[in-house]
Structures are given as structure tokens and as C-alpha cells.
Amino acid sequence: MKTSEIIHDKENHQLYLEAGEENIRALVEYEIKDDKMYLTKTEVPKELGGNGIGKILVENSLQKLVDEGYDKEYEMIADCSFIKYFVEKNDKWGEIVSL
């Protein structure tokens, strides 16, 4: 399934991509408190289910945050069960995102 690039909507504390012919949005939400960034939620609409969109969303969102330097500015903490699962399964992110 075709997906867009990750968009970082800093004002609304979201990263998202659009997928499918109808450009349905899947997103990661976060909160910033003190010097910590809490990755609080992933949302993949049921229309996109079963296509690996969640994995693409989380991996590309984390990479976008690293590319933008958020891992240097904040301690990144997985506060969403899907992101925790993803980080546990991918050593690269275990060094960057706390569980």
C-alpha cells in the first residue's frame, strides 16, 4: 500500500502519514513535559489494517524525530503499547526510546 512521507504537525503534537487511494491518515501523538517526550498514542484506521502501516508509521515517525534532533533535546519515552512493542523488537530504537 502506498504511503505519504511523515508529516510533523508540531502545533498539534502529531506525526502522521496518509495511505491508500483515499489518503486515510494514520498518526502518532506525543506530549512534551519538562525534558521528556512521551509517545502516547498510535492510531491506524481499520481501513488501513493488515498492511503493515503501523510499523511504517512508527519507524518513520521515530526516524523523523531523530532527524529533527528531538532525541538530543528530550528523553523519548514510549507510553503507547504499540510503540513499546515496536521498540522491544527493534534494537536500533531501544537505544533511543525508553520503555
pLDDT digits (tens, 9 = 90+) for 42-96: 999 999 999 999 999 999 999 999 999 999 999 999 999 999 999 999 999 999 9
Homologous superfamily assigned to 7-98: Gcn5-related N-acetyltransferase (GNAT) (3.40.630.30)
How far is C-alpha 48 from the chain's CA centre? 16
pLDDT in the model for residue 73: 97
Return the domain boundaries, the chain: 7-98
pLDDT digits (tens, 9 = 90+) for 3-49: 999 999 999 999 999 998 899 999 999 999 999 999 999 999 999 99
**How distant, in Å, are the alpha carbons of 54, 78, 84 from that of 81?**
12, 8, 5
pLDDT grade for 1, boundaries at 50, 70 and 90: confident
